[in-house]
Amino acid sequence: MKSKKYKSITNHYSNSFKKFGFTYKALNWNNLVLNNLRFKIASQYIERNNSILDFGCGMSLFYKFLKRNFYIKYSGIDTDSSVIKFCKKKYKQNSYYNIDIIEDTKFNKKHDFVFANGIFTQKRNLTNEYMYQYTFFLIKKLFKITKKKLVFNILIDTVDWKNSKNFYVSLDKISKFIKKNLSKKFIIRHDYNNYECMIIIFKD
């Protein structure tokens, strides 16, 4: 992907960390209730002893949720160096990568389970056309490095009200992309929230 316009999204979160510190507010969440529900749903697809890559890990809140009930090998990846430094200090047992996988084409470390929470929901001032390119590019790249499952959430476009800074996805469009380019085995979980869904893609 040649265009670097997506950096307006990663820069937004870096600025949020500077403003709010390493708290859920820096991730643009009002509270942790919905986020913990996402974690609960995603964890239903994790098998014992899975290796997990948390893409856009932030403060490793997914790991904090999982460690209560799972024995896992956790790795986190984020473009923000300050949050990776924070995680390395707090969770020394985990592996962390401070890289941009769009720029770093050599990153190909495979994991059983790849999770991307909130990665495709912000668009800032980018166009929908660009966001579809960005989303599909990243999903394709993340699917290459998962051995078993890729799980991510999106906002859906069939809502009554839309925030101009958010990206709302057509379920028809993303389903066709997944079937054509990734796998015919996937689940769309739209049973936990009216505005978003979680997609689980299985390796064939």
Find the mean pLDDT for residues 42-50. 92
Class level of CATH domain 7-202? alpha beta
**Spatial separation of the C-alpha atoms in residues 200 and 168, rounded to whole Å:** 18
The DSSP bridge pattern shows strands 196-202 and 73-77 to be unpaired
Q: Name the token pair of 204.
A: 């064939």
Using 50, 70 and 90 to split pLDDT, how confident is the model at 157?
A: very high
Cβ atoms of residues 152 and 115 within 8 Å: yes
The domains of the chain are located at: 7-202
3-state DSSP helix/strand/coil % of the chain, to nearest 5: 35, 20, 40
**Residue 153, strand partner residues:** 198
- Is residue 3 predicted with pLDDT exceeding 90? no
> Span 172-177, mean pLDDT?
98
Top-confidence residue, 138 or 32: 138
By mean pLDDT, which of 25-34, 158-167, 169-178 is the weakest?
A: 25-34
Please state, in angstroms and rounded to a whole number, the distance separating the CA atoms of residues 168 and 158: 8
